[in-house]
Amino acid sequence: MVATGTVVTLVVAGVASLFMAWAIGAGSSGSTPFAPAVGANAISVMRAGFVVGLLGLGGAFLQGANVTEAVGTELLVGAPLTPTAAIVGLLTAAVLVAVGVFAGYPIATAFTVTGAVVGAGLALGRAPAWAKYQEIATLWLLVPFVGGGVAFATAKLLRDERVPEPVAVPLLGGLVGLVLANVEFVLLGPSGGALGIAAAITRALVGGTVTPRTLFAGKAAVTLLLGGAIAAALRWDLTNDPAAGQRHFLLALGGLVAFSAGGSQVGLALGPLLPLLGPETVAVPLPALLLAGGLGLLAGSWTGAPRMIKALSQDYSSLGPRRSIAALIPSFLIAQSAVFFGVPVSFNEIIVSAIIGSGYAAGGAGVSRKKMGYTVLAWVGSLALAFAVAYGGFLAVSAVL
């Protein structure tokens, strides 16, 4: 039987985790996916907040396991975090993210959570996981260049008069379809495991034991069919009504990014809680935990995201539909890469870099350099501040207790 004190501690840790999920939903995952679409007047602020909350919930449940396990078990070497350390880390990160939401500046959630968890863990006496830190730092440093560069190139393609829009947009949609066909989802694989759409369709059609060669050929065929179908649908839509077709593609991209945001960001809220749940305390299945975290993201998106959506859609760059499409494509690709490798990544960093890259494709029109500078300082400062506060906060709490 679990002691009363342990139950109380776990409840406090759970509340802190849900508060963190709310803060992320109100900030990173709730605001960034549809900010370009709002900036292009394809969807209203309030409707974007509503839709992104539902899609984020789905992404959290179907794709949240990798990042959750990475944040919970791979940031420190040694024994897992104690309940006290988890509470200090979660509250530190949640408060900083919430301050950013209400101040109107997008705090990088991955920076904040990582700094807080590592700070509390080192104060607890755990050893640093240098190999994981190198992996995370590499992705964080590459995001602005890869995201901004791909967005810049995509925006240039869409603005090139030599490439008609009914050709360029379906081509981009087909490329997105190729990636989507191989994105892994929980429940598609055997025994509820993760599996991509192309692989799942191949297994269903072939039946029985699937050889590696058959699986590869089937995945390739399904991938090409899905990419071609999306390209053909976009071509038909643009031919009937160019403006509507462009808007439909933009909203579809926003939905994919919102789904990916849920799969990535829920791990930042649930990861520190994961080591506290087990047979010796209160055994909670990971799918149930992901569902609870997704509901926290949903609540944050519905109640706090509109403020940050406005900040991203209007303050960083004056976006049209083409530049919005250019910003969302690399955002989707980077987000899914992070989910696949189980690396915590900030959606604010991804989307802001992509928005800026697409803005510079038009000569930097509407890009606020002052806002960019403050944002970069907020990102770096959030990492350092979260580490310092969590480290000192744990030592202070330990001394009192």
Most confident region among 285-289, 308-312, 367-371 by mean pLDDT: 285-289
- pLDDT tens digits along 355-378: 888 877 766 555 566 767 777 787
* Cβ-based neighbour number of residue 193 at 10 Å: 12
Q: 315: pLDDT confidence band, cut at 50, 70 and 90?
A: low
Q: How many alpha carbons lie under 13 Å from residue 169 in its C-beta half-sphere? A: 27
Q: What ranges make up the beta strands (E) of 178-245?
A: 184-185, 195-196
Q: What ranges make up the beta strands (E) of 191-250?
A: 195-196
Distance CA 110, CA 339 (A): 13
Nearest-CA neighbor of 378 among 349, 347, 343, 344?
Answer: 349
pLDDT of residue 311: 65
Distance CA 370, CA 347 (A): 20
pLDDT of residue 91: 85
pLDDT cut 70: percent of the chain above it:
87
Helix (H, G, I), strand (E, B) or coil at 76: strand
- 376 or 297: which carries more pLDDT confidence? 297
- pLDDT tens digits along 117-131: 999 999 999 999 999
- 318 or 151: which carries more pLDDT confidence? 151
Which range is least confidently modeled, 128-142, 247-261, 264-278, 287-301?
264-278
pLDDT of residue 316: 47
Residue 75 has pLDDT above 70, yes or no: yes
Q: What mean pLDDT, rounded, does the chain reach? A: 83
pLDDT of residue 3: 58
Nearest-CA neighbor of 186 among 61, 62, 340?
Answer: 62
pLDDT of residue 314: 61
- 379 or 387: which carries more pLDDT confidence? 387
pLDDT of residue 166: 85
Strand (E) or helix (H) holding 127: strand 127-128
- 221 or 43: which carries more pLDDT confidence? 221
pLDDT of residue 283: 64
Is-contact 37 243, C-beta < 8 A? no
Q: 134: pLDDT confidence band, cut at 50, 70 and 90?
A: very high
Amino acid in the structure at residue 51: V
Tokens of 23: 């803060």
- Per DSSP, 362 falls in state T
**Which are the contacts of 118, defined by CB distance < 8 A and separation ≥ 6?**
75, 76, 128, 387, 390
Q: 173: pLDDT confidence band, cut at 50, 70 and 90?
A: very high
Residue 317 has pLDDT above 50, yes or no: no
Q: 174: pLDDT confidence band, cut at 50, 70 and 90?
A: very high
pLDDT cut 90: percent of the chain above it:
22
pTM of this structure = 0.84
What integer is the mean pLDDT of 335-351? 85
Distance CA 54, CA 258 (A): 9
pLDDT of residue 367: 58
- pLDDT tens digits along 198-257: 988 988 888 767 788 888 899 999 999 999 999 999 999 999 988 888 888 988 988 898
CB burial class (10 A; 0-12, 13-18, 19+) of residue 68?
buried
Which range is least confidently modeled, 97-101, 145-149, 185-189, 320-324?
97-101
